[in-house]
Amino acid sequence: MIAVIGGTGLTEPHFLNDLQIQQVSTPYDQQSVRVLLGSLDGKQVAFLPRHGHGHKVPPHKINYRANLWALQKVGVTAVIGINAVGGIHSETGPGRLAVPSQIIDYTWGREHTFFAEGLDAVTHIDFTQPYDANLRALLIDNAGTTALWPEGVYGCTQGPRLESAAEVQRLLRDGCDMIGMTGMPEAALARELGMAYACLALSVNWAAGLTDELITMEAIEKVLRAGIDEAVELLCRALRQYNLTKGQ
C-alpha cells in the first residue's frame, strides 16, 4: 500500500473516501499513532498527518520513528511526503512545486535511526540517492500542466524558527535549492525500513533575506491555501497511477 504523509497545509485526507481510523502502537512512544486508511478510486491509500492530529507537534519534536513504524505496520511499502519549503533556487518561488532529488541534513538531536539498539551488527544504509527513483518519476510524470521542478537539493534545518539571511547564504553555497524542516530524518527512516520514499515540496515563501520582506505566517498560509489544491490534484493523479508503475 502507498501512504501520504501530509505536512503543513495538508492535515486531512479529504481526497480519500471510506476513511477508517487505525490507532497503531509502536515501540517508540507510549501513545499510539493515528493512521487513516482510505480509498481513491478503489485503491487503498494510507494517510498520516506528520505534525499529529490537530497539527500541534513542531518539526523538531515529531516522532518520525513512530510515524514510519506505524505506516509499515499497517502494510505501507511506499511513502510520498508532502513538505512546505522556503525557496532558494529561482525555480522554487512561492506557489511552485518541486520533486527534490537530493538532501542535505542540518538537523540535530532528533531520533533519526532504527539502528541504534539491540543490533546483531552495526548497520549502515546506502543513502546515495535519498529518494526512490520510481516514486519520483511517478510524481514528475503526473505533473500534467502543473509547473513542477523535477529536481533540487532539499536542505533540512532544525526549526522551528526560520533561518537568518546569512544561514540562507550558507545553504545556497552548500548547494541547497529549497529549505524545509521535516524532510529528515523521515526520508532516511523510510530507507531503513525498506520503504520507497519521495517528496513533493510546495514552496510557500522565498527563503530569508532573498527579498526585502519579512516572512510572516499570514503570508505563508495564504500561499499554502492557494497552492495546496494543485499539489493534491497532482498527488491524486500519481496515486491513481501507482500500481501501474514499474517496480512498485
Q: Is 207 in the site for ligand HPA (CB under 6 A)?
A: yes
Among 171, 183, 205, 224, binds ligand HPA (CB under 6 A): 205
Q: Is 239 in the site for ligand HPA (CB under 6 A)?
A: no
CA distance linking residue 81 with residue 51, whole number of Å: 12
Nearer to ligand HPA among residue 6 and residue 86 (C-beta):
86
Among 45, 204, 234, 238, binds ligand HPA (CB under 6 A): 204
Binding track, positions 115-154, relative to ligand HPA; x by CB under 6 A: ----------------------------------------
- Phi, psi for 13 (deg, rounded to 5): -85, 65
Q: Is 210 in the site for ligand HPA (CB under 6 A)?
A: no
> For residue 85, how far is the Cα from the chain centroid?
10
Nearer to ligand HPA among residue 16 and residue 84 (C-beta):
84
Q: Is 62 in the site for ligand HPA (CB under 6 A)?
A: no
Q: Is 88 in the site for ligand HPA (CB under 6 A)?
A: no
Residue showing the smallest CB distance to ligand HPA in the complex: 86
Nearer to ligand HPA among residue 8 and residue 72 (C-beta):
8
**Cβ–Cβ under 8 Å, residues 54 and 8:** no
Q: Is 184 in the site for ligand HPA (CB under 6 A)?
A: no
The angle that helices 133-141 and 217-241 make with each other, rounded to 10 degrees, is 100
Q: Is 92 in the site for ligand HPA (CB under 6 A)?
A: no
Q: Is 163 in the site for ligand HPA (CB under 6 A)?
A: yes
Q: How far is the CB of 207 from ligand HPA (least distance, A)?
A: 5
Q: Is 171 in the site for ligand HPA (CB under 6 A)?
A: no
Binding site for ligand HPA (CB under 6 A): 84-86, 157, 162-163, 179-181, 204-205, 207
